[in-house]
Amino acid sequence: MSSVNTAIQLITREQAAGSAAASTCSPALARGPWDYDLAEALAGKPAYGPGASAADVAPASTPRQGQLPEEYKRASDAELDARIRAAKATLGDRAVVLGHFYQRDEVIQYADFVGDSFQLANAALTRPDAEAIIFCGVHFMAETADILSRPDQAVILPNLAAGCSMADMADIDSVTECWEQLGELFGTEPDADGRVPVIPVTYMNSSAALKGFCGENGGIVCTSSNASTVLEWAFERGQRVLFFPDQHLGRNTAKAMGVPLEQMPLWNPRKDLGGNAEQTLIDSRVILWHGFCSVHKRFNVGQIEKARAEFPGVQVIVHPECPMEVVDAADSAGSTDFIKKAIAAATEPSTFAVGTEINMVNRLAAEYPQHTIFCLDPVICPCSTMYRIHPGYLAWVLEALVRGEVVNRITVADDVAGPAKVALERMLAARP
């Protein structure tokens, strides 16, 4: 099976010739990510580039990538491959390359570890000799790796513009403002059972500042693998939960735990009290931040109905960042790790329709050729923020390391990293 990038290049050429059989959400994805670095520099503002997250607003604080040296833009695939392999060989154990499941194949081939964001941050801990951790993921993942790694280890994000539009939907100022409004409404006194009015819970897909906010305010971090365990932890200590940034993970998890939908109001940060009546918030169990993943928002029930009609017996597995109707219509829902394990556990040749990012789905299809595995979304639309990491950027940061230079280091300030680590440690301790 060709890579997502190869498929997009082909679709773009075929579209130009008027003969495309497949489609991509943006032919502009076929261009080099440095085109967007340049466009951002000219426009004077950050942008997420084409693809699933293109319609999301990049906050002004979103890091911008400077211009990649011309030699890396012009290098052929073969030349970049040779240069990356040579740099890695020279660096040896001094550098470890991490690749997220949603990263493009052209980069994943150089990864020493492939996994989800938390698995990768922990994988880096198994390489204490590594002076540099090159995180081929997005910004919040590199921040988490920096929080968990040793101070003398440099965490590097090959393209600083590789952010996460969902993580950027909740910023520290808006969450602090929300927290203050909730504090005025609920007060701070615990109830008769000793439970405080509200516990903040942040998804791993959030800035270090928000993880630190949770650490400072009796809160905790969750992943898509442990969200229900973390919510149980929070309900033992609080009357309700403020969950950010992903409304879908919060809603899907709490609903599966029996929380009624009417007790899960949505908090719109642009409105007073999040756009809710006071009584609605008083009666709530989970207050959901108005955030979402633009990649997983693309999945819909119609795609599931089509898959069931075309492939009788198909098993539909989706990620809990998908909307509730999609999770309800699927056979099962779970994290990337859950999806991988579900497919690995199938002993008979089976058909799986998977609702998560296409790079991961295509890799699973290649790994398990005995099964028919396809992405529920027929349009080729990768996570466009993660897609901004291209082999050219990887070659650039690795060759800089060979010269003794650290470029694109992600550093979390100590006053943020400390409380963020507290919230992460609470998550680890909450494991069943």
Cα end-to-end distance, the chain, whole Å: 39
Minimum gap (Å) between residue 35 Cβ and ligand SF4: 20
Q: Which C-beta is closer to ligand SF4: that of 95 or that of 317? A: 317
Minimum gap (Å) between residue 315 Cβ and ligand SF4: 22
Minimum gap (Å) between residue 264 Cβ and ligand SF4: 20
Q: Which C-beta is closer to ligand SF4: that of 68 or that of 169? A: 169
Q: Which C-beta is closer to ligand SF4: that of 100 or that of 421? A: 100
Q: Cβ contacts of residue 357 below 8 Å, gap of 6+? A: 101, 102, 295, 296, 382, 383
Minimum gap (Å) between residue 138 Cβ and ligand SF4: 5
Q: Which C-beta is closer to ligand SF4: that of 146 or that of 246? A: 246
SS3 301: helix
Q: Which C-beta is closer to ligand SF4: that of 51 or that of 197? A: 51
Q: Which C-beta is closer to ligand SF4: that of 146 or that of 357? A: 357
Q: Which residues of 342-371 are buried (b: 16+ CB within 10 A; e: fewer)?
A: bbeeeeeebbbbbbbbbbbbbbbbeebeeb
Q: Of 95, 157, 88, 158, which Cα lies nearest the Cα of 130?
A: 95
Contacts 24+ apart (CB under 8 A), 368-375: 368/343, 368/344, 371/343, 371/346, 372/311, 373/343, 374/307
Q: Which ranges of 149-219 would DSSP assign to H, the alpha helix?
A: 172-186, 208-216
Minimum gap (Å) between residue 297 Cβ and ligand SF4: 9
> Is cis: bond before 245, omega within 30 of 0?
yes
Token output for 349? 């040749």
Q: Cβ contacts of residue 223 below 8 Å, gap of 6+? A: 116, 117, 118, 203, 204, 335, 427
Q: Which C-beta is closer to ligand SF4: that of 139 or that of 240? A: 139
Minimum gap (Å) between residue 295 Cβ and ligand SF4: 4
**HSE of 341, CA atoms in CB hemisphere, 13 A:** 9
Sign of the torsion angle spanned by Cα atoms 59, 183, 419, 288: negative
Minimum gap (Å) between residue 155 Cβ and ligand SF4: 17
Q: Would you tell me which residues interact with ligand SF4 (CB under 6 A)?
A: 53, 102, 138, 164-166, 205, 293-295, 357, 383, 385-386
Q: Of 352, 327, 351, 348, which Cα lies nearest the Cα of 339?
A: 352
Minimum gap (Å) between residue 3 Cβ and ligand SF4: 17
SS3 116: coil
Q: Which C-beta is closer to ligand SF4: that of 22 or that of 55? A: 55
Calculated CA dihedral for residues 319, 158, 81, 361, nearest 10 degrees: 0
Residue whose structure tokens are 């990038």: 5
Minimum gap (Å) between residue 351 Cβ and ligand SF4: 24
Q: Which C-beta is closer to ligand SF4: that of 132 or that of 164? A: 164
Minimum gap (Å) between residue 50 Cβ and ligand SF4: 13
Q: Which C-beta is closer to ligand SF4: that of 103 or that of 303? A: 103
Q: Of 11, 72, 35, which Cα lies nearest the Cα of 395?
A: 72
Instruction: Return the amino acid letter for 383.
Output: C
